[in-house]
Amino acid sequence: MGRSFEWHTHPGGIALIGHRGDGFAFDNEGPAHRVLLEPFALAGRLVTNGEWDAFIADGAYRTASLWLADGWDWVRRQGIAAPLYWRDGEHFTHSGGQPRDPAAPVTHISYYEADAFAAWAGARLPTEFEWEAIAQGHDPAGGNQLDGPSPPLPRGGASLFGDCWQFTRSVYLPYPRFAPAAGAIGEYNGKFMAGQWVLKGASCATVRGHSRASYRNFFYPQQRWQFTGLRLAKDF
């Protein structure tokens, strides 16, 4: 499946998750709390367009066993056969149709597609806690973010941050002892804690400096309009 992956390994154990300190954070990023992790590994790069082409060529969009039940129903009802904005050898961008770079990260996929690809690849999606435990040791201002190419395009690299928001297999729920912020901001994050999935990592359309390990983006599983992609995980 494309070029091989390098992996960030983690021995498991107790990890402190969530925002702490005096810097800005949204209310849904805390309170900081402890989680128990089993040993795991997180891929050192994002899944690419070329690897997604192989996924398509192998008939994955026609293979029910790879998909969650709701995802398979979505694929059939909507006639889904490729990521959003893909055309023959091209993808549609802010600059119109552009040749699709096989080495660039795949984007504009749904949670359903990300989960199916992980199953096809013999891996899985990381939990948000696994992703954050690795990312705490990485520069959140790294990678391809909004001050990169204009208009923004994913291009790949070793950073955990930038290029595309990365789906996790974690449901968007409140952390222990969570309380919505006072005022208007309390009408935003807490109100959407139903039926959505957490994404991590910022994208090429994220302002540099606005990303951090604790940031929790969230989308419904069928949504593909953002720069959304995936990074594989595995147990060991």
pLDDT tens digit sequence for 14-26: 999 999 988 889 9
Can you tell me the mean pLDDT for 151-155?
A: 88
pLDDT confidence bin for 1, thresholds 50/70/90: low
Phi, psi of 57, rounded to the nearest 5 degrees: -60, -30
List of domains in the chain = 7-235 (3.90.1580.10)
pLDDT of residue 33: 98
Report the first-to-last Cα separation within the chain, whole angstroms: 20
Note the helical H segments in the chain. Answer: 49-57, 69-78, 111-120, 128-135
* Token pair 């990365």: residue: 166
Asked if 196 contacts 174 with a C-beta cutoff of 8 angstroms, the reply is no
As to burial, measured by CB atoms within 10 angstroms (0-12 exposed, 13-18 middle, 19+ buried), residue 171 is middle
Cα–Cα dist 79/92, whole Å: 19
Q: What is the pTM of this model?
A: 0.95
Return the bridge partners of 200, or none: 166
Can you tell me the mean pLDDT for 84-90?
A: 89
Cα–Cα dist 76/225, whole Å: 19
The pair of structure tokens assigned to 12 is: 């498991």
pLDDT of residue 90: 81
Asked if 196 contacts 56 with a C-beta cutoff of 8 angstroms, the reply is no
* Token pair 């494309």: residue: 2
Q: Which of 171, 144, 146 is nearest to 156 (CA)?
A: 144
pLDDT of residue 3: 66
Q: Is 67 left (phi over 0), alpha (psi -120 to 50) or beta?
A: beta
